[in-house]
Amino acid sequence: MDGNALLYRTQRDIPTADPGPRTLELRVRPGKCSDGMSDRQYPMTAVLELGDATRTGCAWYQLVARAAHVAFVESRLRAAR
């Protein structure tokens, strides 16, 4: 957590001569957001930093997919016992 933001951060360990960003940081915060292309309102804002580039946008959390994922993981754990 970073204040009220969910923070995801990773760094790639790649040779200096290879192109592309070495760091990725994503901050997702609660707040109304519109993508500007539709009438849809999103419950969160997102800021993605890839190296020196910054992108902003909207985000949402899909509870149904999360519940299905948890059920799948639990079934795999039970099968492994």
Q: Looking at the 3D structure of the chain, how many domains does it have?
A: 1
| Mean pLDDT value across residues 14-39 | 82
**What is the DSSP pairing of strand 6-11 with strand 53-59?**
unpaired
Does residue 40 belong to any structural domain of this protein? yes
Does residue 59 belong to any structural domain of this protein? yes
Distance CA 26, CA 47 (A): 6
**Structural domain range at position 71:** 6-80
Does residue 18 belong to any structural domain of this protein? yes
Q: Does residue 38 register a pLDDT over 90?
A: no
What's this model's pTM, rounded to 2 decimal places? 0.62
Does residue 37 belong to any structural domain of this protein? yes
Does residue 33 belong to any structural domain of this protein? yes
Does residue 39 belong to any structural domain of this protein? yes
Does residue 1 belong to any structural domain of this protein? no
